[in-house]
Amino acid sequence: MPETSESDERNQREVWAREVVARLHDDHAPLTDGVPADYIPELADVDPDTFAISVAMVDGRRVGAGAGTHPFTIQSISKLLMYGLALETHGREAVMRRVGVAPTGDSFNAILLDEDDNRAPNPMVNAGAMAITDLVVGDSIGARVDVVRSLYERYLGRLPELDHHVWASEQATGNRNRAIAYLMLSRGIIEDRVEETLDLYFAQCSVLVTCDDLAMIGATLANHGVHPTTGEQVVAPEVVRDMLSVALTCGMYDYAGEWVFTVGIPAKSGVGGGILGILPGVGGLATFSPRLDQFGNSVRGVKVFEEFSAQFGLHLFDPGRPWRPSR
Ligand code: GLN
């Protein structure tokens, strides 16, 4: 029966994915290049050897290797989810007035604005992310933190915890972000509750997730915004399209061009060591390993994505087989 063969094929693919994920984990565990982020003092304390690879399919199946349930701070991966929230709450036009969609080719914390249009360059660099955070509705920091936590709740299927040490550490040392935010205030890009918005931005970055969580977020985005296990429509499909577009072009910061060239999967990284990749219609792939390269991307994570993409032919423009007219 065709149904059986389809599920046989899915089972077969799951077995294959399990083998590949286990092999990629073993192959890359000895790789110790890079260093964990230390510009946020609390982040320097993580165990640099912790390593996980997780896959979640759109039908809710999971495959993984390593420390898939180890918690770490989501950091910049939050920017992707927050961008979706802003688009849903305020609409594309209002968001585009403050934040563009062009990659910068500069570091994630560059003090850089889109001067022509007087807006932040894109939502995946700190400037754009803080302009997006500024759009979170609420009349107190507590109310706005609740909005952010309930966004995460829908993606994670549970209310998330914040790492209060990392949050406080960034509040205490985040002066570069402060500089960017005040520059945006001076240009009228954000409103004048700057310290509160910075605080909220640091809070959204300090949310604790696991690699398994990230894979399921990826599967939700891959599944047109419907969470594979709760069934909830977490985000509208047309918003997912916008989220994945900027993830593809800007998600890996100034490595974005090479990333699209070699991996070809929309993705977002964070200095906590996580990378979230989305395979539309298929599932989410996530890695966690805290040692970072000069761009702020996880070293092992980038390698695993490269090989996973090649192994399964997942590049967006994978040649596949051409259609030929019959003669
Ligand atoms: N909280 C970090 C910062 O603002 C996030 C950066 C990142 O993950 N690239 O510097």
Tell me: pLDDT of 75 over 60: yes
Task: Find the helix or strand (DSSP H, E) in which 277 lies.
Answer: strand 274-279
Gap between the Cα atoms of 96 and 146, Å rounded: 25
> Could you tell me the distance, in angstroms and rounded to a whole number, from the CA of residue 107 to the centre of ligand 1?
11
- Residue 93 makes CB contacts below 8 A (sequence gap 6+) with none
Catalytic residue chosen out of the listed positions 55, 58, 78, 79: 79
Higher pLDDT, 9 or 134: 134
> In this predicted structure, what is the pLDDT of residue 81?
98
pLDDT digits (tens, 9 = 90+) for 183-207: 999 999 999 999 999 999 999 999 9
Does the beta carbon of 75 lie inside 6 Å of ligand 1?
Answer: yes
Distance from chain centroid for Cα 99: 18
**Which atom, in ligand 1's list, is nearest to the CA of 270?**
8
Given ligand 1 and candidates 214, 271, 297, which is best to mutate, with the most ligand atoms within 8 Å of its CB?
Answer: 271
Domain boundaries, the chain: 6-75+208-312, 90-204
What per-residue confidence (pLDDT) applies to 297? 96
- For 90-204, CATH number out of 3.40.630.30, 3.40.50.720, 1.10.1500.10, 3.40.50.620 equals 1.10.1500.10
Q: What is the pLDDT of residues 114-156, one digit of tens each?
A: 999 999 999 999 999 999 999 999 999 999 999 999 999 999 9
Q: Kindly name the residue from 271, 299, 302, 304 that is annotated as catalytic.
A: 271
Asked whether 14 and 61 are in contact (CB, 8 A), the reply is yes
CATH number, domain 6-75+208-312: 3.40.710.10
Pocket of ligand 1 contains residue 210 by CB under 6 Å:
no
Contact 224, 236 (CB under 8 A): no
- φ, ψ dihedrals at 292, nearest 5°: -110, 155
Which numbered atom of ligand 1 lies nearest the CA of 271? 8
- Helix, strand counts (H, E) of the chain: 12, 7
* Mean pLDDT, residues 12-33 taken together: 94
pTM for this prediction: 0.95
Q: What is the pLDDT of residue 321?
A: 74
- State the pLDDT at residue 319: 83
| Ligand 1 within 6 A of CB of 126 | yes
Mean pLDDT taken over the chain: 95
Quick check: helix, strand or coil at residue 276? strand
